[in-house]
């Protein structure tokens, strides 16, 4: 019976992965780690709480994490834990650096010290930076070129994980970069759940600037499937040539090649809830330093691991909207505790004091 240690398990993707894991491997022993920060919500694990052990801990605290590894002796580790909201990163970059960079290193170090069978570091498309309009996409060979506090902190974590890959060949460590996810259990501060929950409360959908920021969208269930595949893939040892060619490292980009602007997303959600976009979408001041475009090419994971996204965007977004419609208690509880979650950058300047976690 394999022991899985999943960090960030009370967040959006981590919780979806825990549900996916327990459904696909009912015998698995799951240790769910989260420090229940701003986006952490233990309710995301409520329906499976009897099937796992929950550890409230900070992944950047090496003593605390070493104690958890010692207690549970994980076979497989998936590190989803990160501070993830670009707007909040502008207000409090230090918290992002701690979780996303130091946390990534501490997790790799604990996996090295406790000789886990495989360790997967979950990263993001955003570490590649902004894609120029005349470029088709990023790949695993693209240089890291992050320019926001969130993505720069993730890129710092990625660099450390790459250093572990190269320096400790006995440690089986892998990494993924995924496109933007949508699906159930996403904190309603992010575009899609914010739009849905606003409309359900008779509020408009806020769209930053002209709404032409373009993103690469993937259903979270397809991401979870890809993560599980990468974690368990039989991979060859890292070749010496990987020192100058990152395409040869055990790094996989994950995408459904579904590029769409934020304005198009807002219109889809209005249509799903039968609202006239002309009346229900409002353009508001953009956040500082907002990346205009991301898109990655998943042909490596497709050809080497046989992964394909299974959810069509139109069906996936309709099912996602339906999930928020059917689970009002879930998001109403968050809003009652956290307050309104949209940002108004005309009032909240980048130098504003952090709301804290
Ligand atoms: N959401 C996306 O579209 C997307 C896309 C690609 C990659 N990712 C990556 O996937 C991972 C999960 O993203 P998400 O959208 O679920 O984020 P999320 O903010 O919903 O969840 C992150 C979770 O990590 C926890 N956490 C943060 N710092 C921690 C720390 N130091 N110790 C313990 N727990 C900590 C938070 O409390 C939260 O529960 C992140 O690494 C993110 O960079 C996200």
**pLDDT tens, 294-320?**
999 999 999 999 999 999 999 999 999
Tell which atom from ligand 1 comes closest to the C-alpha of 182: 3
Distance 80 CA to ligand 1 centre (A): 5
User: Residue 156 domain-assigned?
Assistant: yes
Question: Which atom of ligand 1 has the smallest separation from the CA of 81?
Answer: 24
Asked if 217 contacts 260 with a C-beta cutoff of 8 angstroms, the reply is: yes
Instruction: pLDDT band for 354, please (50, 70, 90 cuts).
Output: very low
d(CA 85, CA 76): 27
Give one word for 340, left, alpha or beta, with left for phi > 0 and alpha for psi -120 to 50. Answer: beta
Alpha helices in the chain (DSSP H): 12-24, 62-72, 86-91, 93-97, 103-113, 149-167, 191-200, 220-232, 262-272, 277-280, 299-305, 313-326, 328-338
At 128, which CATH number? 3.40.50.720
Convert the pLDDT of each residue in 170-214 to its tens digit.
999 999 999 999 999 999 999 999 999 999 999 999 999 999 999
Give the residue whose CA is nearest to atom 34 of ligand 1: 34
Does residue 283 fall inside a structural domain?
no
Instruction: Tally the domains of the chain.
Output: 1
Provide CB contacts within 8 A for 10, sequence distance 6+. 32, 34, 36, 40, 41, 42, 44, 45, 54
Which residues span the domain enclosing 110?
3-185+217-257+295-312
Residue 43 lies in a domain: yes
Backbone angles phi, psi at 282, to 5 degrees: -125, 135
Q: Which of 8-12, 191-195, 203-207, 285-289 has the lowest mean pLDDT?
A: 285-289
Question: Does a structural domain hold residue 197?
Answer: no
| CA–CA separation, 292 and 286 (whole Å) | 11
Ligand 1 atom nearest residue 38's Cα? 37
Average pLDDT for residues 52-66, to the nearest whole number?
98
Cβ < 6 Å from ligand 1: which residues?
Answer: 7-8, 10-14, 34-37, 39-40, 58-60, 80-84, 99, 103, 122, 124, 154, 178, 180-181, 187
Which pLDDT value is given to residue 340? 87
pLDDT at 157 exceeding the cut of 90: yes
Please check whether residue 67 lies inside any domain of the structure. yes
pLDDT level of residue 350 (50, 70, 90 thresholds) = low
Do 182 and 315 meet the contact criterion of CB atoms below 8 Å apart?
no
Is 325 within the bounds of a domain?
no
Of ligand 1's listed atoms, the one at least distance from the Cα of 10 is: 39
By three-state DSSP, how is residue 78 classified? Answer: strand
């Amino acid at each position: 019976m394999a022991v899985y240690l999943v960090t960030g398990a009370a967040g959006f993707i981590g919780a979806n992965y825990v549900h996916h894991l327990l459904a696909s491997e009912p015998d698995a022993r799951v240790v769910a780690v989260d420090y229940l920060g701003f986006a952490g919500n233990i309710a995301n694990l409520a329906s499976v709480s009897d099937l796992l052990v929950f550890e409230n801990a900070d992944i950047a605290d090496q003593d605390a994490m070493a104690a958890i590894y010692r207690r549970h002796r994980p076979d497989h580790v998936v590190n989803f834990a990160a501070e993830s909201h670009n707007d909040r990163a502008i207000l409090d970059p230090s918290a992002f650096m701690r979780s996303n960079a130091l946390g990534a290193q501490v997790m790799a170090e604990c996996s090295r010290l406790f000789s886990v069978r495989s360790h997967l570091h979950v990263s993001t498309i955003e570490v590649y930076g902004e894609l120029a309009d005349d470029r088709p996409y990023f790949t695993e060979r693209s240089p890291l070129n992050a320019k926001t506090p969130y993505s720069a902190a993730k890129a710092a974590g990625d660099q450390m994980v790459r250093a572990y890959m190269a320096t400790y060949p006995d440690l089986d460590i892998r990494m993924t970069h995924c496109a933007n996810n949508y699906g159930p259990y996403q904190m309603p501060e992010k575009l899609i759940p914010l739009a849905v929950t606003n409309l359900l409360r008779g509020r408009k959908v806020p769209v930053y600037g002209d709404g032409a920021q373009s993103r690469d969208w993937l259903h979270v269930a397809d991401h979870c499937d890809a993560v599980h595949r990468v974690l368990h893939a039989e991979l060859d040892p890292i070749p010496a040539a990987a020192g100058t060619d990152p395409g040869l490292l055990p790094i996989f980009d994950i995408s459904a090649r579904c590029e769409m602007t934020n304005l198009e997303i807002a219109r889809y959600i209005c249509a799903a809830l039968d609202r006239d976009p002309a009346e229900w979408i409002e353009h508001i001041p953009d956040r500082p330093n907002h990346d205009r475009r991301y898109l990655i090419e998943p042909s490596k994971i497709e050809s080497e691991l046989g992964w394909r996204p299974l959810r069509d965007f139109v069906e996936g977004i309709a099912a996602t909207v339906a999930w928020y419609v059917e689970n009002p208690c879930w998001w109403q509880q968050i809003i009652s505790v956290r307050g309104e979650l949209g940002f108004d950058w005309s009032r909240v300047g980048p130098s504003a004091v952090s709301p804290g976690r």
